[in-house]
Structure 1
Amino acid sequence: MDFASVLLTTFISTVLMTAFSYVITLIFQINLVEPYWLNRVLFKGKQNFKPVAWILHFITGIGFLYLLLFLLQFLENNFLINGLIIGMIEGIIGIAMWQLLFSIKFKPATLKKRWYYFNLLGAHLVFSFTALYIIYGL
């Protein structure tokens, strides 16, 4: 996959992943949106919108897409199974990254971490299935 395709796939997958988090936020009335919390962590709790969080979120998405492409080398060509396996692996990695970030940088008192981590699993499944849909040309 050439780098332009990586960027486009990452952009679409990350936007849909974040849209999933927005929908879950609206349903449960708990802010679970990744760039929001990244801003809070990076800027010590200030709630101002800063585009740096979105940029970092997309850059991280590039890394997750490359991980997906790496893992695909070891899996059969099965959209559903691959989406579940890769989405769960990436979700667990995402949770570990956020847990580390929260423990060393900023401990958000208002965030319900258990909800946030469940949301991250779902969001990474959305990311994985979206990326695979694009890669498989479905």
Structure 2
Amino acid sequence: MEIFAIFFSGILGTAIMTGFSHVVESLTDNKFNEAHLLNGLISNLKSVNSSIGDNHYLGWIIHFAIGICMAAILYCYNFYIVDDISLWTGLFLGFILGIIGVAGWSLLISYDDNPPKIEWKYFFIQLVVAHMIFGVTITWVLARFAMHV
């Protein structure tokens, strides 16, 4: 049951986070879709022979795989380290994951000769907020289905 809860929470958390990014993207006319940006970075790799479009499956698979891995980390934290799981903890851990996400994206774009032309400062701000939503979603699912709270 725990494996299913981790997988489901990772998928749901990533989907809700991505939905938030889409809403902010449409309200601000900035490009914030993480999977699309991943595909842009992949397309710029010298080892990739063809151009990969925004909606290529590879960016989506990577994006959701990272979400499932982060859900597993949150599960381990909640199961092995803390005694009490709460949405406030999910919000805080989501913030921490957002900071890690900013560091990861910063590293990715620093190695890219031609990164996507977006407002990275605004992307990073929304990324932290999106990860806070992700953390709350994961925590809620784990509390309901895996932690037997």
Q: TM-score, normalised by structure 2?
A: 0.83
Cross-structure match for 1:63: 69
CA contact (8 A) 1:14 1:58 kept: yes
Q: Which moved more, 1:1-10 or 1:47-56?
A: 1-10
- The separation in 2 between residues aligned to 1:129 and 1:107, in whole angstroms, is 34
Which consecutive aligned stretches of 4+ in structure 1 deviate over 4 angstroms post-superposition? none
Q: Deviations over 1:11-66 (max 9, x none)?
A: 11110010000000011111111001001001119561210000000111122112
Q: TM-score, normalised by structure 1?
A: 0.89
Cross-structure match for 1:105: 112
Gapped regions of structure 2 (runs ≥ 5)? 46-50
Gapped regions of structure 1 (runs ≥ 5)? none
RMSD: 2.0
Cross-structure match for 2:12: 12
Q: Which moved more, 1:101-110 or 1:21-30?
A: 101-110
SS in 2 for 1:137: helix
- The separation in 1 between residues aligned to 2:75 and 2:113, in whole angstroms, is 32
Structure possessing the higher radius of gyration over alpha carbons: 2
Report % sequence identity.
27
- The separation in 1 between residues aligned to 2:91 and 2:101, in whole angstroms, is 15
CA contact (8 A) 1:42 1:105 kept: no
Q: Report the count of equivalent residues.
A: 138
**2:122 paired with 1:124:** no
